[in-house]
Structure 1
Amino acid sequence: MYDIDTTHDPKLKSWVVSANQTGCDFPLQNLPFGRFKLRGIESGWKIGVAIGDQVLDLRAVGLIDTDDMNCVMAASPEARQLLRRKLSEGLREGSSQHPLWTSALVPQDECEYTVPCRVGDYTDFYTSVHHATTVGKQFRPDNPLLPNYKWIPIGYHGRASSIRVSGSTFKRPRGQTKAPDALIPSFGPSKRLDYELELGWFVGAGNEQGEPIDIGNAESHLFGVTLFNDWSARDIQGWEYQPLGPFLSKNFASTVSPWMVTMEALAPFRAAFERAAEDPQPLPYLEDEANRARVAFSISLEVLLQTAKMREASEAPVRLSATNTSRAAYWTPAQLVAHHTVNGCNLQPGDLLGSGTLSGPESTEAGSLMELTVSGKNPITLPNGEVRSFLEDGDTLILRGWCETDGATRIGLGECSGTVVAP
């Protein structure tokens, strides 16, 4: 488990002036990793760290000798902490590296980005009990939660090849749907396209096949976290998901933010893992009593929507909902790792674990339109008069996230946006 050290000191300032501005997502205490290149340049992807409104090229300053992010992610916790200390010291006010490192900075708005690492496998979990309950009520009003939910981190394996970086567009998916009163299914574009407010936890060092990762050591196998939107075609899903689960309703696109905020950076924002007394307590392989007081995280999240009409009128996106992981997540990242590997499954650097839709207990904390509009029965009216039950062509959905607490410098996860276009 990563603890607070000198790199988290809120008094630290950077010689990159923009990193010291109030509300900056990427102050010196953050230092998230991503892959970038200058816009319009046909060069390979480089590994960078965001600092203020700049990107520092890590290979250019001699901190790494590779452009393979997965190799960096596979490093030991000790090596990663050493790299973080070197970055922090080199970017601090008064650092002797200032003159040398200045030439390795690139303005973020002059860069293009890609998925922050090579994703070999992607597993989507279902960690929000509030989301599971709200959605379950729409299908099983008297028994919304299935018997296994509070005992086991529910998950399924998704499609890694269709994960794209923030700012991408994707075509509205097509597939089979079946109306309740129809005799046969029909084929065509989804009419109930939805978003899912999620976090993506990236695996760092993996494990050998047949060797489970102990719950007490699970967090050391995670590299960091990103914002993640696992778009969902609800009408396609409703027809296809039994008995084996989602398929075409999920495999067409997922969107991830370009920056991985490291587990080290999250250390000041830990929260207690709490389970209601009347709920089942985790089985021993999912329980670490020594870390219960600080094994979860407090990450604030919000969802915004900008329609094509709003863009044309230069109107800003509007907030649809907001929540915090301490209110939304029923299972911790460490528990996801421990459960995923308890049967001997081998994780690898770059594997992505989606949190599943993160919804809080209040209606204003819903992480999907299926919840916000009660499966389309209660459409929402936007400030410009437009109405939405589900997403329409031209809609841009934006996720934002940040961490803040007393005695620590606020850090951000950046932004994760995607736009649906006609098929």
Structure 2
Amino acid sequence: MPLDLPADHPYGIHHLPYGVFAADGASPRVGVRIGDQVLDLAGCGGDPAVWDQPSLNPLLAQGSSAWQEARSWVTSLVTEPEHEDLVRANLHPLDEVSLHLPFAVADYVDFYASEHHATNVGRIFRPDGEPLTPNWKHLPIGYHGRSSTVVVSGTDVRRPHGQRKAPSDPAPTFGPSIKLDIEAELGFVVGGATTLGEPVSVDQARDHLFGVVILNDWSARDLQAWEYVPLGPFLGKSFATSISAWVTPMAALEAARVPLPGQDPEPLDYLRGDAAEGIDIEVEVEWNGTVVARPPYATMYWAPEQMIAHMTVNGATLTPGDLFGSGTISGSERDRRGSFLELSWNGTEPIDLGEGGTRTFLEDGDEIVMRAWAPGADGTRIELGECRGRIVP
């Protein structure tokens, strides 16, 4: 192998995530992470129309066959000795480059696919009723978000303003959110355009799933609670959504595929297919340096393939660069909950940050870092690029 890299490195040859970087004053272009370096793919002789570009969108547009060919080419670059000089000439240390949003987000949908999260939220807001709404186990519930406010890891997040009204307040007031929250999610990156009016089946969905990022769906719970009836989330969500700078190809996650939790009742025909599987990814949420939760993606009720099938069953199109979030990842135990709404039980149970004191929701200056890892090929472990954000006034 041309690179001095341990076989079990979390960013080794089994992973090869894509991103967009800039080095030495040059314009942003597509690269792949190998170890703690970035490989300039255009410099290695790749098609400039794909690799010498400020986003992954041209690659996403080419479809799944081209993605397989690209991955094979990159793998050959970093494993075959005859490419060693070329590769070494086009490597850049991570700490000497700037990382950019890896793709231009065409459309953004966020789902609500964790039964544990949906149950917890239902118990918090509907303590006298059923925690799950009647439709929850029949379809993947989602809403359309704002693609223009998706930002790359490391971007500061400004505390949003809006209307809020507690149940005991006589009238709404306007001001900065006082219940600012996070949601630990995975974001799925879509490629390959479809035609208006033609749904994508569960089994066809794999051809449109390019890769995955860590996604933080920042949420202003007080704004959300007042505005969401009857049409759902709006300003409480649209101010910022952070994603990691590296897109892990779905091909790198084959060893992480696991069966879904049992779906009961059985979904309708259009939500069934052999491709509907879960993914064994562990997420870690760090708040001001203290790990407060480790949500398990393997417990998610709905598969990403089912989410694609549902969001296109009415004939809606897929566009290269579409992004959809999984919804908050939560497990059955308290330290597996993926939002502070759940961890603090809507502010009634403070969260211990060690020497950083306690919190219920985010304060100005707080920094959230999300990390994730999954089983890789041949017994390795891969790590998704971190997703970091800091709250500013």
Pick the TM interval, shorter chain.
over 0.9
Matches within 5 A, 1:367-382: 367-382=338-353
1:118 aligns to 2:104 (yes or no): yes
Indicate conservation of the 8 Å contact 1:16/1:52, yes or no. Answer: no
Q: 1:218 to 1:145 in 2, by over 3 A?
A: same
Matches within 5 A, 1:220-259: 220-259=207-246
Aligned-residue CA RMSD (Å): 1.4
Q: 1:112 to 1:405 in 2, by over 3 A?
A: closer
CA distances 1:80-134 after superposition (whole Å, capped 9, x unpaired): 1121111112101x52001112111111111111111010110000011100000
1:28 is matched with: 13
Q: 1:322 aligns with which of 294, 307, 318?
A: 294
1:132 aligns to 2:118 (yes or no): yes
Separation (CA, whole Å) in 2 of partners of 1:126 and 1:291:
20
Indicate conservation of the 8 Å contact 1:63/1:83, yes or no. Answer: no
Separation (CA, whole Å) in 1 of partners of 2:65 and 2:240:
35
Separation (CA, whole Å) in 2 of partners of 1:55 and 1:15:
15
Separation (CA, whole Å) in 2 of partners of 1:31 and 1:335:
26
Q: 1:37 to 1:405 in 2, by over 3 A?
A: closer
2:42 is matched with: 59
1:162 aligns to 2:149 (yes or no): yes
Q: 2:31 aligns with which of 33, 45, 48?
A: 48
Separation (CA, whole Å) in 1 of partners of 2:249 and 2:7:
21
TM-score, with length taken from structure 2: 0.96
| Structure 1 residue 379 displacement after superposition | 0.6
Matching residue's letter, 2:365: G
Separation (CA, whole Å) in 2 of partners of 1:343 and 1:59:
39
| Structure 1 residue 409 displacement after superposition | 1.7
Separation (CA, whole Å) in 1 of partners of 2:158 and 2:111:
24
| Structure 1 residue 406 displacement after superposition | 8.3
| Structure 1 residue 21 displacement after superposition | 6.6
1:352 is matched with: 323
Indicate conservation of the 8 Å contact 1:25/1:414, yes or no. Answer: no
Q: 1:385 to 1:401 in 2, by over 3 A?
A: closer
The aligned length equals 388
2:272 is matched with: 287
CA distances 1:336-388 after superposition (whole Å, capped 9, x unpaired): 11111111000100100011111011111000000000000011122105110
Matching residue's letter, 2:6: N
CA distances 1:59-89 after superposition (whole Å, capped 9, x unpaired): 1111232214211012232221121111112
Q: 1:117 to 1:291 in 2, by over 3 A?
A: closer
Separation (CA, whole Å) in 1 of partners of 2:272 and 2:349:
40
1:312 is matched with: none
Matching residue's letter, 1:48: G
1:417 aligns to 2:380 (yes or no): no
2:76 is matched with: 89
Matching residue's letter, 1:232: S
Matches within 5 A, 1:164-183: 164-183=151-170
**Secondary structure of 2:147's aligned partner:** coil
2:64 is matched with: 77
Indicate conservation of the 8 Å contact 1:150/1:280, yes or no. Answer: yes
Q: 1:218 to 1:320 in 2, by over 3 A?
A: same
In structure 1, stretches of 5+ residues that fail to align are 1-13, 307-316
Q: Which moved more, 1:241-250 or 1:404-413?
A: 404-413
**Secondary structure of 1:275's aligned partner:** coil
Separation (CA, whole Å) in 1 of partners of 2:106 and 2:275:
30
- Percent identity over paired residues: 44
1:302 is matched with: 284
TM-score, with length taken from structure 1: 0.89
Indicate conservation of the 8 Å contact 2:287/2:353, yes or no. Answer: no
Separation (CA, whole Å) in 1 of partners of 2:94 and 2:59:
21
Matching residue's letter, 2:86: L
**Secondary structure of 1:264's aligned partner:** helix
CA distances 1:245-292 after superposition (whole Å, capped 9, x unpaired): 11111111110000110111111111112315xx2111110101x346
Indicate conservation of the 8 Å contact 2:284/2:372, yes or no. Answer: yes
Q: 2:302 aligns with which of 318, 321, 331?
A: 331
